[in-house]
Structure 1
């Protein structure tokens, strides 16, 4: 991995030099646009509306228009901002970890100690572990002030940027304003259904089905070209119905519980007696590109 930023974590008078690395990466198949008539590559160019010339990226500045005047901001102007020059990740508070709303979580970064001795780094990590607190920090990265949560993952400190409060939309749905009566039996059956799906979360058990199918399609088209019959590759697929109203909720819950119990029972018979591994319904990835 290559560090994308260097700086220091600061809380009180404690200074922890760190290197910052992107914690995630994208493995999606890379596609580009083509003209459907002849397969020609579609390319985008930055063209100046005054002289009609194509402008190299290095010759492009940014500007703000208030409706009457335009102010051009050069790279030097932006680099001169005090926040942009700062190389500090400032801890502003330590909060109970459960108070960090998952909806706010954004991009994740690993922090590596960047000093001869990692003692201050390890001290901060152990303190967060023992107190069950998350550090809320502020820093500047790529011309933005970032709010982030600093937490522990294994032996590493992880910096996870947070959305600002005004970037999260309010969920206001009139359909939820009316009171809904839930019977004890419905709640009991629903809890049974949850229990039938109960498992330990193992991220590696999940795969991106869409990307796997896309790669299969690409390989088949490379082999057979446009003459490919997709039904031969994937079989005849029927569109799944969606949005249907459940007429009998109790019956749907009861049938779901019975089906998952039967599936679990069938799977457990196939397991070796000595393993007694608890089976669970097939896991499918929710991600789709």
Structure 2
């Protein structure tokens, strides 16, 4: 895993340097939008709605439209001026019972790994959380946004789960629920009996994403049957697929750098040096031997394009 954030947990007078890792990842088959006829990828470009011209990312700012129709444009410099008091710090505010944290508030989950020099204070905080049987309410700044979060212990690791702010939870305004509905005791008893018949200890490992599995099998079957086509390359982009253009540009830049360095030392340019007789090359492998080498079979499971 790759750390996405470095900072410290401020636990009273104790400072625990930590690294933050994303604890979850969605399992899905990556699909692209393509043209039915020729398989070309569907591209999207950003255009200005006023002049119709394409806009580069460097020319894009964020805007806020007021209730009376005025526009406020915010630049990167504006955002840099905003205070983030908890930047690079996870500030512990209080410790609360876990059942007081409504699950609807829970968002993204992260693992906290201590720096090598912080193993002891990390263990101290972990032990305090376990002994108190409470979670720590904290504030942290991630991706230029201040968030509430909780710290808890899972499998000997301190886990941080970000929370929604209270005003981000919508009210359930359903008039139908205010109607007077009568439930007979027999019906309630039957429902309770059904619940009891399906009662079990929760084990998420026994469940699987059947749709994703079936989609992977469908793709594999098409690959095995040869129902594939070469990925088309748009005109003007030949050789640039999978970053090929960057490689070519890099090689050209390196070649120019080498020739410039040779010229500064008074050496012959590479083109002239190539015209000199070369050492005798080693004999190539016999064609018969080459024909015996079979191409490596490609994998049958790959992402759809």
Same fold (TM > 0.5): yes
For 1:73, the equivalent position in structure 2 comes to 75
Secondary structure of 1:207 counterpart = coil
Residues 85 and 180 from structure 1, CA distance in 2 versus in 1: closer, same or farther, beyond 3 angstroms?
Answer: closer
> Distance in 1 between the 2:70 and 2:112 partners?
45
> Distance in 2 between the 1:47 and 1:27 partners?
33
Larger-gyration structure (1/2): 2
Residues 5 and 107 from structure 1, CA distance in 2 versus in 1: closer, same or farther, beyond 3 angstroms?
Answer: same
Residues 71 and 57 from structure 1, CA distance in 2 versus in 1: closer, same or farther, beyond 3 angstroms?
Answer: closer
Secondary structure of 1:116 counterpart = helix
Residues 50 and 84 from structure 1, CA distance in 2 versus in 1: closer, same or farther, beyond 3 angstroms?
Answer: farther
> Over residues 12-39 of structure 1, what are the superposed CA-to-partner deviations in whole Å (9 max), with x where a residue is unaligned?
2221111000000122001111233443
> Which structure would you say has the larger RCO, counting Cα contacts within 8 Å and 6 or more residues apart?
2
Query: Unaligned 5+ residue runs, structure 2?
Result: 229-305
Question: Aligned-pair distance for 1:5?
Answer: 0.2
TM-score (norm 1): 0.70
> Distance in 1 between the 2:17 and 2:215 partners?
43
Question: Aligned-pair distance for 1:48?
Answer: 4.6
Secondary structure of 1:128 counterpart = helix
C-alpha contact (below 8 Å) 1:92/1:135 kept by paired residues: yes
The answer to whether residue 106 in structure 2 is matched with residue 105 in structure 1 is: yes
Question: Aligned-pair distance for 1:101?
Answer: 0.5
For 1:5, the equivalent position in structure 2 comes to 5
C-alpha contact (below 8 Å) 1:106/1:160 kept by paired residues: yes
Secondary structure of 1:83 counterpart = coil
TM-score (norm 2): 0.67
> Over residues 63-112 of structure 1, what are the superposed CA-to-partner deviations in whole Å (9 max), with x where a residue is unaligned?
445444543412x4433433188211111121110011011111100001
For 1:83, the equivalent position in structure 2 comes to 84
Q: What is the RMSD of the two structures over their aligned residues, measured on CA atoms?
A: 2.4
The answer to whether residue 46 in structure 2 is matched with residue 46 in structure 1 is: yes
C-alpha contact (below 8 Å) 1:79/1:85 kept by paired residues: no
> Distance in 2 between the 1:121 and 1:130 partners?
14
> Distance in 1 between the 2:204 and 2:44 partners?
38
> Over residues 152-187 of structure 1, what are the superposed CA-to-partner deviations in whole Å (9 max), with x where a residue is unaligned?
111011111111111111112222212333333322
Secondary structure of 2:149 counterpart = strand
C-alpha contact (below 8 Å) 2:86/2:140 kept by paired residues: no
> Over residues 215-264 of structure 1, what are the superposed CA-to-partner deviations in whole Å (9 max), with x where a residue is unaligned?
122223332649xxxxxxxxxxxxxxxxxxxxxxxxxxxxxxxxxxxxxx
Query: Unaligned 5+ residue runs, structure 1?
Result: 227-289
Question: Aligned-pair distance for 1:43?
Answer: 0.8
> Over residues 90-139 of structure 1, what are the superposed CA-to-partner deviations in whole Å (9 max), with x where a residue is unaligned?
11121110011011111100001124141111111111112111111111
C-alpha contact (below 8 Å) 2:11/2:125 kept by paired residues: no
The answer to whether residue 201 in structure 2 is matched with residue 200 in structure 1 is: yes
Secondary structure of 1:26 counterpart = coil
